[in-house]
């Protein structure tokens, strides 16, 4: 039984995480970690501390699909991972994968992002 989030009355946030390759997604699903560019860290950490839950929806660039989604399980720390090599990534954070499945963008075309000129979510 998990205790309720101390931020339970705060909003839920969602982010699309683009990966340059499927190998990074596989590493994340196996190890329960993720790393992003330093420019994304501030937004994600802010959302983690100011929201009741942060969901990450993963997609490999050019795949035409989402590869699944996870819940952000920790703030982003300073520790880096060698799993991604030296590709300019920042610190590592925990992710709890909820669904690991390839879902074509066409199944989400009814979802529009009001903060991105109501463009389709993909």
CA distance 62 to 25: 14
pLDDT at 46 over 90: yes
pLDDT at 30 over 50: yes
Q: What is the pLDDT of residue 59?
A: 92
pLDDT at 1 over 50: no
Q: What is the pLDDT of residue 2?
A: 46
- What is this structure's pTM? 0.82
CA distance 69 to 74: 15
Question: How does pLDDT run across 50-81, given as a tens digit for each residue?
Answer: 999 999 999 998 888 889 999 999 999 888 88
Q: What is the pLDDT of residue 73?
A: 95
Q: Are 13 and 54 in contact (CB under 8 A)?
A: yes
């Amino acid at each position: 039984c998990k205790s309720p989030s101390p931020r339970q009355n705060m909003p839920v946030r969602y982010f699309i995480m683009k990966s340059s390759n499927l190998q990074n997604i596989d590493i994340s699903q196996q190890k329960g970690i993720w790393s992003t560019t330093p420019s994304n860290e501030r937004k994600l950490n802010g959302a983690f501390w100011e929201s009741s839950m942060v969901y990450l929806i993963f997609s490999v660039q050019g795949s035409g699909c989402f590869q699944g989604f996870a819940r952000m399980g920790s703030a982003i720390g300073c520790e880096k991972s060698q799993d991604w090599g030296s590709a300019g990534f920042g610190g590592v954070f925990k992710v709890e994968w909820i669904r690991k499945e390839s879902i074509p963008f066409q199944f989400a075309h009814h979802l529009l992002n009001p903060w991105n000129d109501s463009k389709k979510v993909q």
